[in-house]
């Protein structure tokens, strides 16, 4: 512990204090609709550097700048393309981050040395109040130690960052549970760099042509993702996590066999299952992540369950695949990373 961390409910007085800390170059973690963010003044290079130190984040992994008003864009970007205007009209405030050409006001310490800047306007009332109180331009990556699952509750933030930041605001559990969709609008045709709640279809419905970064579609280490952060190992629990794919019956049979083999060797085995199929597993520690019928519930609980398994002393975890129509792309992107792309075909 190198500094004292204030941990408190996100009430009016706490938000006022958070604003003061941010204006003085300090670090405040706060809830957003996606995951908890670790905020610092985005226009102050030294403040941004403290985020990297607290998270243990690689310095080439740029930060997203959070704003609350469209007018604020003028100071930090050089140009707002037509497609960006339409996407902002449709999805801001909300879980969508856009990449623009940056203005000289944004330090390279915030953009990881890039000439572009990522910007998001969150909808969460606490996030908005903190950004305003802190001066209007708050860099806020996920409030976890780099590599661990992103925090979806204040207690997750405390696990990773107690003693490393000035303040943690508790605003309860987040709604979405996965980080924002990142769309590069600094190029002629918008490209998704990270899938999220705002899906490809939703973006196409607004601007027509949208493509997906090739690195997201293929499991090929040779293709460099356009979002620098996407190349890093992420979210991995301590136990060895593997995804088991196939029909519901075949997956259950295979996982039950793996549980039996593990138990014979005296191991504790974890299972991540949907509500609809959890009853099929025997002998393992089974966590129900959410319902396939309402896949937002899977997104909401995935990171929390990965963290929970770290406290349960399991040595192997087997997860069902969740290729659901709505959020399947975003969920599987995070789950595949957490599993180091290990997939068993049942
Ligand atoms: P986090 O805030 O922890 O969800 O991480 C931010 C993500 O945004 C990382 O994957 C970054 O690589 C990505 N990102 C931020 N700025 C840029 C940028 N200018 N160009 C491309 N990706 C970016
Ligand atoms: Mg992150």
Choose which residue among 111, 118, 141 to substitute to test ligand 1 binding: the one with the highest number of ligand atoms within 8 A of its C-beta.
118
Which residues make Cβ contacts (< 8 Å) with residue 240, sequence separation at least 6?
Answer: 315, 316, 317, 342
Q: Report the chain's C-alpha Rg in angstroms.
A: 20
Per-residue pLDDT in tens (0 to 9) along the chain, 346 residues: 567 999 999 999 999 999 999 999 999 999 999 999 999 999 999 999 999 999 999 999 999 999 999 999 999 999 999 999 999 999 999 999 999 999 999 999 999 999 999 999 999 999 999 999 999 999 999 999 999 999 999 999 999 999 999 999 999 999 999 999 999 999 999 999 999 999 999 999 999 999 999 888 776 667 888 988 888 778 888 999 999 999 999 999 999 999 999 999 999 999 999 999 999 999 999 999 999 999 999 999 999 999 999 999 999 999 999 999 999 999 999 999 999 999 999 9
**Burial class of 203 by CB neighbour count within 10 A (0 to 12, 13 to 18, 19+):** buried
From atom 21 of ligand 1, which residue's Cα is the shortest distance away? 227
List the residue whose alpha carbon is closest to atom 7 of ligand 1.
Answer: 229
Which listed ligand is nearest to 303 at the C-alpha? Answer: 2
Residue nearest to atom 2 of ligand 1 (CA): 141
Ligand showing the shortest atom-to-Cα distance for residue 228:
1
Instruction: Give, for ligand 1, the residue of 96, 151, 182, 183 to mutate: max count of ligand atoms closer than 8 Å to Cβ.
Output: 182
The bound ligand whose nearest atom lies closest to the alpha carbon of 180 is 1
* Cα dihedral 193, 195, 198, 200 sign: positive
Residue closest via CA to ligand 1's atom 9 equals 229
Please choose, from the candidates 123, 137, 142, 157, the residue with its C-alpha nearest in 3D space to the C-alpha of residue 33: 123
CA-proximal residue: ligand 1, atom 22 (nearest): 227
pLDDT of residue 232: 77
- The number of the ligand 1 atom at minimal distance from the alpha carbon of 63 is 15
Residues near ligand 1 with C-beta < 6 Å? 61-62, 64, 99, 111, 114, 116-118, 141-142, 179, 182, 193-194, 226-230
298 Cα to the center of ligand 1, angstroms:
23
Q: How far apart are the first and last CA of the chain?
A: 46
Q: Whole-angstrom Cα distance, residue 233 to residue 52?
A: 16
- Centre of ligand 2 to C-alpha 143, Å, is 7
Q: How many Å apart are CA 194 and CA 212, to the nearest integer?
A: 8
pLDDT value of position 221: 66
Q: Please name the residue whose Cα sits nearest to atom 5 of ligand 1.
A: 141
- Residue 113 Cα to ligand 2 midpoint, Å, equals 18
Distances (CA, A) of 44 to 22, 41, 65, 79, 310: 10, 6, 12, 22, 36
Binding residues: 34, 57, 61, 66, 116, 120, 140, 142, 150, 180, 194, 235
- pTM here is 0.96
> Any idea which ligand is nearest the CA of 108?
1
Ligand 1 center to 260 CA (angstroms)? 41
To test the ligand 1 pocket, which listed residue (190, 194, 196, 197) has its Cβ within 8 A of the most ligand atoms? Answer: 194
Q: How many CB atoms lie within 10 A of CB 17?
A: 18
CA distances from 270 to 194, 260, 302, 308, 331 (A): 28, 12, 14, 11, 19
- Could you tell me the two tokens for 19? 């604003």
Residues in the chain, how many?
Answer: 346
Going from the Cα of 99 to the center of ligand 1, the distance in angstroms, rounded, reads 9
Span 145-171, pLDDT tens digits: 999 999 999 999 999 999 999 999 999
* Dihedral sign, Cα of residue 186, residue 92, residue 85, residue 68: negative
Task: Say if CB 222 and CB 319 are below 8 A apart.
Answer: no
């Amino acid at each position: 512990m190198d500094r004292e961390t204030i941990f408190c409910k996100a009430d009016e007085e706490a938000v006022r204090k958070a604003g003061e800390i941010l204006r003085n170059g300090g670090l405040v973690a706060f809830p957003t609709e996606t995951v908890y963010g670790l905020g610092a003044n985005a226009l102050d290079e030294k403040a941004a550097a403290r985020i990297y130190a607290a998270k243990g984040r690689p310095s080439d992994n740029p930060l997203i700048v959070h704003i609350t008003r469209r007018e604020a864009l003028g100071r930090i970007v050089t140009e707002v393309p037509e497609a960006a205007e339409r996407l902002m009209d449709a999805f801001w405030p909300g879980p969508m981050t856009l990449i623009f050409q940056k203005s000289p006001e944004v330090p390279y310490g915030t953009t990881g040395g890039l000439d572009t800047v990522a910007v998001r306007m969150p909808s969460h009332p606490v996030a908005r109040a903190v950004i305003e109180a802190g001066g209007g331009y708050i860099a806020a990556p996920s409030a976890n130690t780099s590599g661990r699952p992103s925090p979806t509750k204040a207690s997750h933030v405390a696990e990773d960052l107690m003693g490393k930041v000035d303040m943690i605001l508790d605003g309860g559990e987040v709604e979405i549970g996965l980080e924002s969709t990142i769309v590069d609008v600094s190029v002629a045709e918008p490209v998704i760099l990270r899938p999220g709640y705002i899906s490809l279809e939703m973006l196409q419905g607004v601007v027509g042509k949208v493509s997906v970064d090739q690195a997201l579609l293929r499991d090929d280490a040779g293709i460099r993702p356009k979002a620098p952060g996407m190349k890093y190992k992420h979210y991995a629990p301590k136990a060895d996590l593997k995804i088991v794919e196939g029909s519901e019956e075949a997956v259950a049979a295979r996982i039950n066999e793996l549980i039996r083999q593990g138990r014979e060797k005296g191991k504790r085995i974890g299972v991540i299952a949907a509500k609809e199929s959890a009853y099929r597993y025997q002998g393992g520690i089974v966590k129900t992540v959410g319902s396939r019928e309402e896949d937002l519930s899977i997104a909401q609980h995935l990171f929390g369950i990965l963290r929970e398994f770290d406290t349960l002393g399991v040595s192997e975890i087997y997860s069902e695949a969740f290729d659901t129509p709505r959020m399947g792309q975003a969920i599987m992107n995070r789950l595949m990373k957490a599993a180091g792309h290990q997939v068993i075909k049942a």
